[in-house]
Amino acid sequence: MEKPIYLKNPDDAKLFNELRKRVNQRVEALPRNRDVYIQIKAIILPLVYFGLYVFALLNADRPWVYISSFVLMGISLVLIYLNLIHEAAHNNIFKSKKLNSLILKIFDLVGANSYIWKKRHIASHHAYPNVDGWDTDIEQSGILLIVPWIKAKGIQKFQHFFFFLVYPLYLFNWMFIRDFRDFFDNERVILKTQGKIPVSEKIKMISFKLFYFFYQIAIPVLFFKISLGLALGAWFLQVIAASIFALFVLLPLHPLPDNAFPKLDEKNGLPFSWIRHQLEVTNDLKENNWFVRNVLGNFNFHVAHHLFPNYSYMYYNEITEEIEQFARENNLSYKRFPIFNALGKHVDLLKQNANNAYFILEE
């Protein structure tokens, strides 16, 4: 398939070059040891996750301790994603690509698949955010409709009434459906745009999935006398907790009515230049405190990540200051919302799409 083409605008190219120069100068003036903190997390966070697992097994005779440990594993799983997996995919933790790749493999141990996720994230989401048919993060599931200019059908017309029942199942869908479809369904965006997947990666995907369920459920039942019901229940609550926490952080950043969902023209062209596209389809969150910066991996500074993914999140506070000032000076779109306002806006998007508001406005 022919890839989408960003609008070529020499003035916008000059703007980005100027912004990049400012950002590079700002970062070069900062202490160069900030990435050490992420490298420390690369040791601590996986130890926390698997430490909670061991703690749960050692307390197999205390059901509520076992369940609580698994729920905390779900929270730590999301922290591993935000702080490590996401940064490793961009080679932002270590200078060595091999070490970053090793960190990325943690994803295979926690029920996901590092190979297909990196393709989704780098070659799809970062390349064409919010572009239907190219951004896997907004690929339509059939149940919920995210893209405003696709007409709602069937159950999608009621999505604003039941979405809160679907979202807690987010990671179940990822583990049991999304990964498999991306590997084997030729109609999925990733296979249409990225080509064939090596057989070895398919074998790895299935093998790691089996290993994941073996240590999550089979080991507690077979070797620690946990009842099957308790093992399944604790694992289920772990994934529910992880799903809710993950979407709480991720949903407020792209799928909002304030952000564009650009349509391709007949020549596969996009309506914006690259820099304007990133600004039109992405927003930041106003929250900026120690917890957000050090625990949530600065996902509140998402515009900085899309414009400068080669810098780790440890620099996004200062980079965002430069972006916000530059946007004001050059009349560029820059959006920042409080997190609960942004979550409310996402619900508004679901409601508007359910009611086919885009088509009503067009008419």
Q: Across residues 243-258, what is the average pLDDT?
A: 96
Stated as kind and residue range, the H or E segment containing 61 is none
Percent of the residues in the chain that have a pLDDT greater than 70, as a whole number: 98
Give CA separation, 54 vs 65, 84, 237, in Å. 12, 21, 17
Whether 1 shows a pLDDT value over 80: the answer reads no
Q: Across residues 287-300, what is the average pLDDT?
A: 90
Residues 297, 285 contacting (CB under 8 angstroms): no
**Residue 196: per-residue pLDDT:** 86
**Residue 257: per-residue pLDDT:** 97
Instruction: Name the range with the highest mean pLDDT among 181-185, 256-260, 287-291.
Output: 256-260
Find all residues with CB under 8 Å of 67, minimum gap 6, and list them.
230, 233, 234, 237
Instruction: Determine the Cα–Cα distance for residues 16 and 38; give it in Å rounded to an integer.
Output: 28
**Residue 360: per-residue pLDDT:** 59
In this prediction, residue 92 has a pLDDT band, given cuts at 50, 70 and 90, of very high
**Residue 361: per-residue pLDDT:** 52
**Residue 32: per-residue pLDDT:** 78
pLDDT digits (tens, 9 = 90+) for 201-225: 999 999 999 999 999 999 999 999 9
Instruction: Determine the Cα–Cα distance for residues 323 and 328; give it in Å rounded to an integer.
Output: 9
Which residues in 34-57 are b (16+ Cβ under 10 Å) and which e? ebeebeebbeebbebbbebbeebb
Residues 51, 72 contacting (CB under 8 angstroms): no
**Residue 228: per-residue pLDDT:** 98
**Residue 141: per-residue pLDDT:** 74
| Mean pLDDT over each residue of the chain, to the nearest integer | 94
**Residue 219: per-residue pLDDT:** 98
Q: Across residues 96-119, what is the average pLDDT?
A: 96
Instruction: Determine the Cα–Cα distance for residues 224 and 228; give it in Å rounded to an integer.
Output: 11
Closest CA to 283 of 342, 347, 350, 352: 342
Which tokens hold the place of 78?
A: 């999301």
DSSP class of residue 327 equals H
Considering the entire predicted model, what is its pTM? 0.94
- Min mean pLDDT across 56-70, 181-195, 342-356 is at 181-195
